[in-house]
């Protein structure tokens, strides 16, 4: 099967060019000046004139089916990867979980069992370490060398659930420094946050907005700074701060990067577009829709503006979604009358490519930086490059034909995620995903879905290409 994506503007991290993309089987075999492809015969031609041709999106932070707070994220690997495909994402990196006291490899096996045969697009795993001890440190080496899992997430938040203390974090960082893995950090001071939560509840402050008020930016900044210091002590262990939302945390990341440290960070669309007051502070219980951690920040401060600037300057390397959807009915409702019982998470895996493209329209990012933050850098950061993340000969034919003349209106009525609301209800994007190709197969075209569950493959990842 051969395919020619014809006449589009191919966008990569280093520039744009009008070119034809020739696909044979699952791979891109050439990116051609249109004058040279006139004589080529192919099985199928996709007209991309007037449109952008970009590498398929890579969402490096998703939580399909994650058990949390007495329930589980409402998208399965089936529904979540299908929704991702609709939105132009052709690879996800999800988080396998080692619960405290559990063998790391058993946790990984459990996540393979959930995903295997159910994914519509390619997928890989990071590993959450819920208990750092001698056995799990040994397991880190084994996952890096044999399992294609080269990044490990630790939590400075959620005491009693995923929390690691500073000694555990340091030991995991020292191990990562040896085996080349990336340490990913949920950087919030969970011990202090739990005190603020108990004090708020004791005062009768139970509405969803108190979720944000009890997780102040200062405690994200403090934890970010502490993680950076611990990584320095671990001989500059590579560190990746997940879902960074506060300006003060970004300042610590920027300072570390200016000092030449192996410190990276991502943010998420919710922190670029949504706020503590307008969403989390919605009347009654509605704010529960936007309970996530780190929380949405105040619109009266400069967070969103600073995050866009961080994306431009590469102090923020990646936009991921932290996709962790819960329905209002029966799930978010667990926290009626007590915000601390609202499951933490927002669904957005379907909308990331669009929402960050809107940043291009709004003059926040260049086209090149759009592609870099949603596809190329995630591939390079997490050992998938150049198989993924670039439109180039030899790479997997994961392509999105993106139409800058389309309009996309985000709504629960039209989205494909398994959620009974949209966190971005009514938001209009001045652009839209047209055709989506995954390893040479057209899975979305003309508003129709042609993919299928089980076609997505597990990807064994190498080490980050940013590190020596
Ligand atoms: Zn997460």
Contact status, residue 379 vs residue 386, Cβ threshold 8 Å: yes
Q: How far is the CA of 186 from the centre of ligand 1 (A)?
A: 8
What's residue 37's pLDDT? 87
- Determine the pLDDT at residue 434: 98
Cα 360 to ligand 1 centre (Å):
25
- Rounded Cα distance, 396 and 410, in Å: 29
Q: Please tell me the distance between residue 270's alpha carbon and the centre of ligand 1 in angstroms.
A: 13
Q: Omega before 20 cis (within 30°)?
A: no
The per-residue pLDDT for 252 is 98
Contacts of 100 (CB under 8 A, 6+ apart): 130, 131, 161, 162
Q: Longest C-alpha distance within the chain, in Å? A: 75
390-401 per-position pLDDT tens digit: 999 999 999 999
Residue 457 main-chain phi, psi, to 5 deg: -110, 150
Distance (angstroms) between ligand 1 centre and the Cα of 36 equals 46
Predicted confidence band of residue 431 (pLDDT cuts 50, 70, 90) = very high
Calculate how far, in angstroms, residue 185's C-alpha sits from the geometric centre of ligand 1. Answer: 10
Residue 34: predicted pLDDT: 93
pLDDT attached to residue 259? 98
- What local confidence, expressed as pLDDT, does residue 27 receive? 98
How far is the centre of ligand 1, averaged over its atoms, from the C-alpha of 398 (Å)? 25
- Say if residue 338's pLDDT is above 90: yes
Cβ atoms of 400 and 444 closer than 8 Å: no
- Distance (angstroms) between ligand 1 centre and the Cα of 28 equals 32
Mean pLDDT (whole number) for 291-318? 98
CA-based nearest residue to 53, from 12, 85, 1, 81: 12
Say if residue 160's pLDDT is above 90.
Answer: no
DSSP string, 36-95: GSTT---SEEEE-TTSEEEEPEEEEEE-TT-EETTEE-S--HHHHHHHHHHTTEEEEEEE
Residue 38 has pLDDT above 90, yes or no: no
User: What is residue 113's three-state secondary structure?
Assistant: helix
pLDDT in tens, 408-418: 999 999 999 99
Task: Please state the pTM of the whole predicted model.
Answer: 0.98
Cβ atoms of residues 407 and 428 within 8 Å: yes
pLDDT at residue 368 tops 90: yes
Q: Would the pLDDT of 39 be above 90?
A: no
Assign 173 a pLDDT band (cuts: 50, 70, 90).
very high
- 104 CA from centroid of ligand 1 (Å): 18
Q: How far does residue 448's CA lie from ligand 1's centre (Å)?
A: 30
Ligand 1 centre to CA of 378 (Å) is 15
Residue 128 Cα to ligand 1 middle (Å): 10
User: In angstroms, rounded to a whole number, what is the distance separating the alpha carbons of residues 61 and 20?
Assistant: 31
Residues with CB in 5 Å of ion ligand 1: 322
Confidence at residue 403, expressed as pLDDT on a 0 to 100 scale: 98
Task: Please state, rounded to an integer, the average pLDDT across all residues of the chain.
Answer: 97
Give 443's contacts (C-beta < 8 A, 6+ positions apart). 85, 120, 121, 436, 437, 449, 450, 451, 455
Q: Judge whether residue 69 has pLDDT over 90.
A: no
CA 443 to ligand 1 centroid distance, Å:
27
């Amino acid at each position: 099967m051969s395919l020619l994506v014809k006449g589009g503007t191919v966008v990569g991290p280093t520039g744009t060019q009008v070119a034809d993309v020739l696909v044979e089987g699952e791979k891109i075999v050439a990116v051609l000046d249109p004058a040279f492809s006139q004589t080529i015969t192919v099985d199928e031609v996709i007209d991309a004139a007037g449109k952008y041709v970009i590498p398929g999106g890579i969402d490096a932070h998703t939580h399909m089916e994650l058990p949390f707070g007495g329930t589980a994220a409402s998208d399965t690997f089936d529904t979540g990867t299908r929704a991702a495909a609709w939105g132009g994402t052709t690879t996800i990196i999800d988080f396998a979980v080692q619960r405290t006291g559990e063998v790391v490899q058993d946790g990984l096996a459990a996540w393979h069992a959930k995903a295997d045969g159910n994914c519509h697009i390619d997928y890989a795993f990071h590993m959450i370490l819920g208990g750092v001890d001698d056995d799990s440190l040994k397991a880190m080496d084994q996952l890096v060398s044999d399992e294609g899992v080269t990044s490990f997430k630790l939590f400075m938040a959620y005491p009693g659930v995923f929390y690691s203390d500073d000694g555990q974090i340091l030991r995991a960082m020292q191990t990562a420094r040896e085996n080349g893995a990336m340490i990913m950090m949920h950087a919030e001071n969970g011990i202090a946050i739990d005190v603020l939560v108990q004090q708020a509840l004791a005062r009768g402050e139970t509405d969803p907005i108190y979720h944000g008020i009890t997780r102040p930016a200062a405690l994200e900044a403090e934890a970010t700074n502490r993680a950076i210091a611990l990584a320095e002590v671990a001989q500059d262990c590579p560190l990746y701060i997940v879902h960074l939302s506060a300006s003060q945390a970004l300042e610590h990341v920027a300072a570390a990067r200016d000092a030449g440290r192996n410190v990276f960070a991502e943010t998420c669309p919710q922190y670029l577009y949504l706020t503590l007051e307008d969403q989390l502070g919605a009347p009654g219980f509605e704010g529960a829709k936007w309970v996530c951690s780190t929380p949405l920040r105040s619109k009266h401060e400069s967070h969103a503006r600073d995050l866009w600037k961080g994306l431009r300057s590469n102090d923020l390397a990646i936009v991921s979604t932290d996709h962790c959807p819960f329905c209002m009915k029966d799930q978010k409702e667990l926290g009626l009358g007590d915000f601390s019982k609202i499951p933490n998470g927002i669904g957005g895996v379907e909308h990331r490519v669009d929402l960050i493209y809107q940043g291009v329209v709004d003059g926040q990012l260049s086209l090149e930086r759009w592609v870099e933050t949603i596809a190329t850098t995630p591939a390079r950061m997490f050992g998938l490059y150049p198989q993924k993340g670039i439109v180039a000969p030899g790479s997997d034919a994961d392509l999105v034909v993106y139409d800058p003349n389309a309009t996309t209106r985000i709504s629960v009525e039209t989205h494909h995620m398994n959620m009974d609301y949209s966190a971005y209800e009514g938001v209009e994007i001045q652009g839209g995903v047209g055709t989506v190709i995954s390893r040479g197969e057209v899975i979305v075209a003309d508003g129709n879905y042609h993919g299928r569950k089980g076609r997505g493959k597990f990807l064994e990842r190498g080490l980050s290409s940013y590190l020596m």
